Amino acid sequence: MRKLPLYIHRTGNYYERVDGEPPELKALVQETLGVHVRRVGRFIQLALIGAGRCAGQSLPQDTAVFLTSGRGDLEVTMDVLEQLFVHAQPPKPLSFINTVSNAACYYIAQQLKLQSRSGFACNRHFAFESALQLAVSDFEQGIIRSALVGTVDVVVPPAARHRKQLGLTENTVLGEASHWLWLGTATDQPPIGRLIAAEHHADRDALIRSIAALELPATTLVSCGQFIPRENALPLRRELGFQQAFEYREGRGYYDSQSGAAVATFLESALPGSYLLHVNADPASRYSSFIVQAALPPP
Amino acid sequence: MRRAYFIGASSHTSLGRGLADSLRALEHPPVPQSVTARFADRDQMVPYRILKDDAASDAEERLYRVLERVIVQALDAAELTSTERRALGLFIGSSSADISVSEARYRRELDSDANAIALSASSSLGNLAAALRERFDFRGPDHSFNTACTASANALAYADATVRSGRLEHALVVGVELFNVVTALGFHGLQLLTPDTMKPFDRARNGLVLGEGCSALVIGSRARHAQPLSLRGSANICDTHSISAAHPDGSTIAHVISGALRSASLTASEIAAVKVHGTASLLNDEAEVAGMKRVFTTLPPLCALKPYLGHTLGACGLNELALFCAAADRGFLIGTPGICAGDSDLGITLNQTSTDLPPGNYMLNYFGFGGNNTSLVIERQGR
């Protein structure tokens, strides 16, 4: 079995605050991929933009695709439900087929000419963390050598309805995003960072024990995910034994898979060799963590 | 190498409540029903295989009731302690997840409010796992797979890897698919449905029947049986030929089958039987046969289970595996009398009667919308 760390070769991101109508994405898809992708909805468009930016000019053909989302393709699912139960119209064939979440993986693999495994898996509060853990599992077993791991969440206007649907307050600022990492084991190009660990923890004690066992440097930055109340972040960081916080969510509109933004935001400004520990929690006080190290300067 | 053995299973499908009941029902399987799919002020009759002894009513509660019963039976069969139960990981595979609940709530709310919001009951594919985690106080990780017809097969593959790696001692794999109007009318619109029993690979094939089903499987690192079953290998490949069908030349299906054999460190000749996907549509039947013929010089006995269960979509990975393994555990391979009996236009024959199945390696294949293809290799060890 191959053990971590894995190399982070590139990140690809899209984020937009949504106040009214979300921006048109067709042109951005074309700009990113160089082709016009027809008959796909917003969720798939965002997946293509994020994954395409992450892929850059090319990816190994055997790159796997791991897609996740906090809410999935709300747009196509709501459209099918409204057409059915309000307008008495059965689903159109392509709309129905696109309700499967892995439809986005299909378009990514097709556009980036990938021939490997792909899949959509999620967790209500640990969406991005869930995808990372599954990708790590495949790397550890030696099944894959290269993977795109990403998360997508869309806003379906009108904003007031979207907020209500997500259980948000009336003045919550909304955002939609697509965050991707290209992970791999190849050493033929300099990585921008390394993924050191991605783990689930049954409770807080298990989290503390697990992180302590890694003996991370005291300078490690700690970021808390969106499902840890802000007032709990400082006590948790102290309990973990670290002083410095890393903030990546400030000013960000609400979407469910914000953890996906942590890696790229950290690597954009990180000191060479520095570490980020990201921790998130769910309402049952289970925890999920991942650790990233920024690349060291070339010798 | 550490293994993840199948140590407790249960199932509720149109064939039976529990696996023993399902095996008994193979002699006289029920016929598909015609079910009313109601949308706005319209009705559409759709052929469906509905759960035995549990009519498709009270949709806001039924999903959780069925899941709870099946999971409890699987956990009890595995004889896990309460500590082991709390620590296990949950891996769910489904196409529709809790959409049946969302539909029912939406329809109820539309009755009193024309501006009711769709998906107010649940707007995340992770909510079903969250509900089960809360009900059973699971503390391990949970992952919800939504990869069309391969979803629960993929869930098993990742659960197996997590136990093998030592991260978990036990995992609970769940596949569930219950009647819902979106699925019923989606397939109706694709003109893929038949009111009759499915006849995969048969000249008389006429499409598929949707099926309800819920299965649960507990896997663990310690075998509890003299001839334990386990997942020996698996592969998953994204086929980019078409979003709704595998490549007709069989190349991509051969690719995933070969990958599963490599993963299991086996040659094709070491596979004692194949459980086909068999959706009884010409395109998929042709591609599946072409793929198998590319890999197998001589085809092993072929077993189709959708004629009994219907197509249970994202749950078929586990529903069909549970039924196949229950029969294998009793030493036989399930037959489909009269279906693809020898005059198939595709040049294959399905196993016709219950025949002896010695311990060995069996392949189970699944191919889904979105190009998601998965092949599993199951091993039943000899004494």
Instruction: Encode pLDDT of B222-280 as tens digits.
Output: 998 888 999 999 999 999 999 999 999 999 999 999 999 999 999 999 999 999 999 99
Number of other CB atoms surrounding residue A195 within 10 Å: 23
Pick from B189, B220, B251: which residue ends a domain? B220
Which of B117, B130, B161 is closest, CB to CB, to A164?
B117
* The model's pTM: 0.97
Encode burial over B266-290: b for 16+ CB neighbours within 10 A, e otherwise. bebeebbbbbbbbbbbeebbbbbbb
**What is the DSSP secondary structure assignment for residue A296, as one 8-state letter?**
P
Same domain, B192 and B235: no
Same domain, B190 and B256: no
- The residues in B 93-152 lying below 8 A from A, measured between CB atoms, are 95, 99, 102-103, 106-107, 110, 117-120, 123-127, 129-130, 133-134, 139-148
Give the H/E segment covering residue B377.
strand B372-380
Per-residue tokens: B31: 């016929």
Contacts across the A-B interface (CB distance below 8 Å): 201
Query: Tokens 């109508």 belong to which residue?
Result: A21
Q: Is A4's pLDDT higher than 80? A: no
Q: How confident is the model at residue A20 (pLDDT cuts 50, 70, 90)?
A: confident
Segment B70-95 shows an average pLDDT of 97
Per-residue tokens: A128: 């991005």
Number of other CB atoms surrounding residue A4 within 10 Å: 14
Contact list in B for residue A101 (CB cut-off 8 A) is 125, 146-147
Same domain, B205 and B257: no
Q: In total, how many domains does chain B have?
A: 2
Q: Are B210 and B46 in contact (CB under 8 A)?
A: yes
Q: How confident is the model at residue B122, as a pLDDT?
A: 85
Number of other CB atoms surrounding residue B168 within 10 Å: 23
Q: Is A158's pLDDT higher than 80? A: yes
Nearest to B278 by CA among B303, B244, B258: B303
Q: Is B165's pLDDT higher than 70? A: yes
Per-residue tokens: B158: 């990742």
Which of A71, A92, A141 is closest, CB to CB, to B161?
A141
Q: How confident is the model at residue A104, as a pLDDT?
A: 97
Pick from B156, B189, B220: which residue ends a domain? B220
Segment B87-104 shows an average pLDDT of 97
- The residues in A 3-62 lying below 8 A from B, measured between CB atoms, are none
Q: Are A193 and A294 in contact (CB under 8 A)?
A: yes
Reduced to 3 states (helix: H, G, I; strand: E, B; else coil), residue A165 is helix
Q: Is B281's pLDDT higher than 60? A: yes
Q: How confident is the model at residue A273, as a pLDDT?
A: 97
Q: How confident is the model at residue B57 (pLDDT cuts 50, 70, 90)?
A: confident
Interface test with B, best of A39, A66, A85, A257 (most B CBs within 10 A): A85
Encode burial over B98-108: b for 16+ CB neighbours within 10 A, e otherwise. bbbbbbbbbbe
Same domain, B88 and B166: yes
Segment B134-159 shows an average pLDDT of 98
Pairing assessment for the beta strands B142-145 and B89-93 based on DSSP bridges: parallel
Same domain, B212 and B237: no
Angle at B30 between CA B25 and CA B32, to 5 degrees: 145
CA dihedral B292, A139, B93, A90 (to 10 degrees): -80
A133 touches chain B (CB under 8 A): yes
Same domain, B71 and B198: yes
Complex ipTM value: 0.97
Pick from B175, B196, B220: which residue ends a domain? B220
| Pairwise CB contact (< 8 Å): A102 & B123 | no
Cα(B78)–Cα(B180) distance, integer angstroms: 31
Number of other CB atoms surrounding residue A178 within 10 Å: 32
Cα(B367)–Cα(B241) distance, integer angstroms: 13
| Pairwise CB contact (< 8 Å): B143 & A124 | no
Same domain, B167 and B262: no
Cα(A81)–Cα(A143) distance, integer angstroms: 38
The overall average pLDDT reported for chain B is: 96
Query: Tokens 């929690």 belong to which residue?
Result: A281
pLDDT in tens, A226-266: 999 999 999 999 999 999 999 999 999 999 999 999 999 99
Same domain, B74 and B207: yes
- The residues in B 34-93 lying below 8 A from A, measured between CB atoms, are 39-42, 44, 86-87, 89
**Bridge partners (DSSP) listed for residue B92:** B144, B174
**Bridge partners (DSSP) listed for residue B235:** B375
Q: How confident is the model at residue B352, as a pLDDT?
A: 97
Same domain, B211 and B238: no
List the CATH number of the domain containing B134.
3.40.47.10
What is the extent of the structural domain holding B135? 5-220
Q: How confident is the model at residue A2, as a pLDDT?
A: 56
Q: How confident is the model at residue A101, as a pLDDT?
A: 93
- The residues in A 83-102 lying below 8 A from B, measured between CB atoms, are 84-88, 90-93, 96-97, 99-102
- Closest-CA distance of chain A to residue B189, Å: 6
Cα(B190)–Cα(B174) distance, integer angstroms: 27
Q: How confident is the model at residue A3, as a pLDDT?
A: 66
Measured between CA atoms, the residue of chain B closest to residue A204 is B139
Same domain, B283 and B179: no
- Closest-CA distance of chain B to residue A192, Å: 28
Same domain, B233 and B341: yes
The alpha carbons of chain A give a radius of gyration, in whole angstroms, of 19
Q: Is A165's pLDDT higher than 80? A: yes
Bond into B195 cis (ω within 30)? no
Same domain, B194 and B320: no
Q: How confident is the model at residue A187, as a pLDDT?
A: 83
Q: How confident is the model at residue A1 (pLDDT cuts 50, 70, 90)?
A: low
Encode burial over B147-159: b for 16+ CB neighbours within 10 A, e otherwise. bbbbbbbbbbbbb
What share of chain B has pLDDT > 70, as a percent?
Answer: 100
Q: Are B103 and A81 in contact (CB under 8 A)?
A: yes
Q: How confident is the model at residue B343, as a pLDDT?
A: 74
For A119, B242, B275, the CA distances from B190, given in Å and listed in that order, are: 23, 15, 25
